[in-house]
Structure 1
Amino acid sequence: MAAITPGSARAASPLPLNVDDLTLPCRTTDPDLWTSSVYTEQLRAADLCHDCPHMLACRAWARATGQAGACGGETEAQRRRALSTRTAA
């Protein structure tokens, strides 16, 4: 997957914060990786999140808003499991 240009990265990023850091993984990789419905691609995107200082904020936002794809270091399936475990407890 090719890197995207900084101008298009902002619109495609799942980052819920007003952050202008163009070095973040979701700003420098193909946006299709983050929104892919292919589980292995979501795993790859989620793995890229783990060094990001905004990972926990993104995770909370993704869980609260029901985002699809990878966000906050979680795949969509991981997020669903975490939410269902929390509501079942």
Structure 2
Amino acid sequence: MTIEIWVLGGFVLGLVFGLAKPEYGCVLLPSIPVTMFAYIWWWQSQNPDALTSTSALDFLFGPLWPTLGVIGGWFTGVLLYRLLRRRT
């Protein structure tokens, strides 16, 4: 998967968190990096022949992109939630 897909997926997930119930965003947002750590650990366990000397950096940069997307999506969702709520 590319960085753009991770950011876009995180953005969509953050948008859902922000639109559904903004108060739960602070509880749900930390689940994204934890899930990414688990995914990276699982992938590296399943593909030991594909590991390189820089594979440990996946644990640093892997969660970064979806987390940035989630934060941006959450702020956008909260903004839309408040704008839509103000009009009704």
TM over 0.5: no
TM-score normalized with structure 1 length: 0.28
| Greater gyration radius | 2
